[in-house]
Amino acid sequence: MTCFETIQAYGLRSIGIGEKLLPKTDFTLCQQFTLIGSGMIWNLYFGVLALLAGFFLANALALSKSAHSPWARKPAEWFVFVFRGSPLFIQFFLAYETLVLLPRSGIEIFGITLATSWTTKAWAGALFVMFLNTAAYSAEIFYGALRSIPKGDLEAAEAFGITGWQKFARIQWPTMLRLGWPAYTNEAIFLFHATTLVFFSSFPAFGQMGDALYYANYFADKTFNPFVPYPIIAFYFILLTLLVTFVFGRINRRLNRYVPQNQRSRIRLRVALIR
Amino acid sequence: MFAACADPKSIEGLTWAFCYLTSGKHLDFYWSFLTVLMLLAITAPAALALGFMGATAARSQALPARILGKTYIAMVRGIPDIIFFLFFVIALDQGIEYLKHLAVCPSGAPWPWQGLEFRVCKEAKVPLGSSSAFWHNAYGFALAVVTFAIVFGAFAANVMFGAMQAVPKAQLETAEAYGMSNAQVFRRILVPQMWVYALPGLSNLWMILIKATPLLFLLGVEDIVYYARELGGSKTNSYAYPHRDWRLIYFIGLMIFYLTMTKLSEGVLGRLSARLSQGQATAAGEAMRRAGA
C-alpha cells in the first residue's frame, strides 16, 4: 500500500469511513501518522463544540457568581467549585455511570418515549461533561476579569449616563472579555488536551472509532514501542496548540483594538496542566 | 472479620451494612485511599526538589546547565500530560530492564528490542517473575511516583523559574553591594524571597496534583478508582454480598473525597500565603504591615 492509499483507507477511519480493519502487522510510519491524525477529528469535535457552548454558560455563570443575591450567587459558586474541585476523570466516570442507569427502553413523558441510549455514547455524554467542565473553568476566569474591571471605566460610563443593560453590554462585557482573554486562551488549550481523556476513561470506543490517543495507544500496545506513536500525537497537539493560539490571538487583537499600543494585553502561554 | 459476619446471607439491615462495609475487599479499598495520600506525600516533595533544581539550572551561568534546565521546563508545554504519563511509564520500565539486561544477562543473550517485542532474559525481569505480588505492586507504584515527580517537577520548575525572576533586582544588587558572593546572594536573599512569588503557582499545582491522582488507575496501580469499579459493579448471588450496580454511589464517594481534599487544601494554602506574605515587599505584605501598625 502506498502512503496515498493508506490516507484514502484510514484518513476518516475514526468516524467510520474507509477500511474496516485496522492494520495488524507491518506498521508503517504513514499508517501511524494517518490513523492518529484521523483520531484528531474527535479531539477537535469535543474541543470546539464544548468551547463554543461552554462560552455562553460561562458568561452566565460568571454574572450570577458576581450577583448580590445569594439565590443567584450560591448555585454558581457551587457549580464552579464542584467542577473545578474534582478530577475531570472522575466526572467522566460519574456521568457515564449515571447515564448507564437510565432505563434502556427510554423514558416516557406524556406518552412520548424519549430515547436514552444515545446519552451513553461518547459523542453526546462526554461532550456534555466537557461542556459543563469548561464552563466552570471559564466562568472562574471571567468572574476574575469582571472583578478587575478598572473602577474608573465604570464611573466614566455612569458620568455619560450609560447605565443598566447598556453599561453592561458596552462597557463591562467587552472589558471583561479583554481582560480575561489571555487566561481563556490557555483554558482553550487545556480543554483540547483534556479531550484525550474521553476514550481513556469510561466512554467506550465503538468499532475502534476513537480519538488520537486511542490510536496512539493502539500502536504502542501492538508495537511495544512508545517512541513512535506518542511523539506523533505530541506533534499533532503542538500543531493544534499553535492553531488555537493563532485564532485566539486574532480575537485578542480585535478585543484590544482601542487600547493604546503599550497597554495591550498579550497572550502568554502557560504550561498545560491536568484538570 | 467479625464473628457476626460469618454468614452474610442470613443477616440483614444495619448489621448487613456494617459487615458489608468491613469485608476484606472494602478494607483494601480503604487502604487504597492511603495509597493516594502516600503518592501525594512522596510526589509533592520530590517534584518540588526536581523543580527547584530545574529552575536553578535554567538560570545558571553555565550554558549546558541552562540548556538542560530550559529543555526540562519546555518539555511540558504544548503536549497533553497524559501522553507523558503513558510514555514515561513504558520508557522507564524498558530502560530499567535494558540496564539490568546489560548487567546480568549471559553474554549471548539477544538484543531486547526484537521487531515488535521487548524481551529481556529471565534474570533481568523487573521485578523477577518469581517475586511476590507485593513487589509487583510496589514496582508499579514506584514507577508511577517517579513519573509523577518528573512531570510535576517540570511544572514546578516553570513556576519557580518565574518566581526567581520576580524577586526585585534591587534586593539582589543590594546584597551584592554588601559584598556577598553569588552563592550567598542565592541562599540568603533569593531563595527566602522567592517563595511568596512561587506560592500562587505552587498551590495551583498542588490542586492539580490532587486531581491528577486518578491517573494512577491508568498506570495500572490498584487505586481508589480501581476499587470503586470493582466493588460497585453488580454482584450476583454467588457473591457473599449480592447487590445491584452501585458504582454510581462509589463514584459519588470518590467525588466527595476529592472535593474535601480541595476544600481543606484551600484553607491551608490560604494560611500559608498569609504567613509568607509577612514582611514581604508585595501588596499583600504591605497591607499586613498597615493593618498591624
Taking residues A76-95, report their average pLDDT.
89
Residue A13 placed within a domain = no
- Chain centroid to CA B184: 32
pLDDT of residue B117: 64
Comparison of pLDDT for A123 and B245, the residue scoring more = A123
Residue A209 placed within a domain = yes
15-74 in chain B: CB under 8 A from chain A: none
Give the SS3 label for residue B78.
coil
Return the H-helix or E-strand segment holding A107.
strand A107-109
pLDDT grade, residue B1 (50/70/90)?
low
Comparison of pLDDT for B24 and A270, the residue scoring more = B24
Cell of B204: 495551583
Residue A52 placed within a domain = yes
pLDDT 10s digits, A150-183: 888 888 999 999 988 999 999 899 999 988 888 8
CB atoms within 10 A of CB A32: 23
Taking the CA of residue A247 and the nearest CA in chain B, the distance in Å comes to: 16
Query: Contact at 8 Å (CB) between A223 and A27?
Result: yes
Of B76, B82, B117, which has the smallest distance from its Cβ to A196's Cβ?
A: B82
Share of chain B above pLDDT 70, in %: 88
- List Cβ<8 Å contacts ≥24 apart for A245-254: A245/A185, A245/A189, A245/A269, A248/A181, A248/A184, A248/A185, A248/A188, A249/A185, A251/A181, A252/A181, A252/A182, A252/A185
B259/A220 touch (CB, cutoff 8 Å), yes or no: no
CA–CA distances in Å: residue A72 to residues A55, A77, A80, A148? 19, 9, 13, 20
In chain A, what residues touch B263 (CB-CB under 8 Å)? Answer: 85
Q: Does B154 touch chain A (CB under 8 A)?
A: yes
Structural domain total, chain A: 1
In chain A, what residues touch B211 (CB-CB under 8 Å)? Answer: 86-89, 274-275
pLDDT of residue B82: 65
A87/B80 touch (CB, cutoff 8 Å), yes or no: no
pLDDT of residue A16: 77
Give me the count of residues in chain B: 293
Cell of A275: 484538570
Compute the Cα dihedral for B27, B33, B37, B38 and give only its sign: positive
Cell of B214: 486518578
pLDDT grade, residue A83 (50/70/90)?
very high
Question: Mean pLDDT over all residues of chain A?
Answer: 84
Taking residues A16-38, report their average pLDDT.
81
pLDDT 10s digits, B152-195: 888 888 888 888 888 888 888 999 999 999 889 999 989 888 88
Query: Contact at 8 Å (CB) between A22 and A35?
Result: yes
Find the CATH number of the domain harbouring A94.
1.10.3720.10
All residues at 6 or more sequence positions from A193 whose CB lies less than 8 Å from its CB, including other chains: A237, A272, B79, B80, B81, B82
Cell of A103: 432505563
pLDDT 10s digits, B68-109: 888 887 776 556 666 777 777 778 888 888 888 887 777 766
Tell how many helices (H) and how many strands (E) occur in chain B. 12, 2
Q: Please name each of the domains of chain B with its CATH number.
A: 3-292 (1.10.3720.10)
Q: Tell me the CB-side half-sphere exposure of residue B171, using CA atoms within 13 A.
A: 19
Residue A33 in this model has a pLDDT that exceeds 70: yes
Residue A100 placed within a domain = yes
pTM over cut 0.80: no
Residue A274 in this model has a pLDDT that exceeds 60: no
ipTM given for this complex: 0.77
Q: Does B12 touch chain A (CB under 8 A)?
A: no
pLDDT of residue B22: 78
Compute the Cα dihedral for B152, B154, B159, B160 and give only its sign: positive
DSSP sequence for B202-222: HHHHHHHHHHHTTHHHHTT--
pLDDT of residue B264: 92
In chain B, what residues touch A234 (CB-CB under 8 Å)? Answer: 78-79, 83
Residue A16 placed within a domain = no
B117/A224 touch (CB, cutoff 8 Å), yes or no: yes
Domain that holds residue A227: 38-263
pLDDT 10s digits, B60-70: 888 889 988 88
Residue A98 placed within a domain = yes
Please classify residue B263 by burial: count the beta carbons closer than 10 Å to its beta carbon, then call 0-12 exposed, 13-18 middle and 19+ buried: exposed
pLDDT 10s digits, A41-75: 999 999 999 999 999 999 999 999 988 899 999 99
CA A212 – CA A36 distance, rounded (Å)? 5
pLDDT grade, residue B248 (50/70/90)?
confident
A237/B263 touch (CB, cutoff 8 Å), yes or no: no
Residue A176 placed within a domain = yes
pLDDT of residue A98: 83
In chain B, what residues touch A230 (CB-CB under 8 Å)? Answer: 83, 86-87
Residue A4 placed within a domain = no
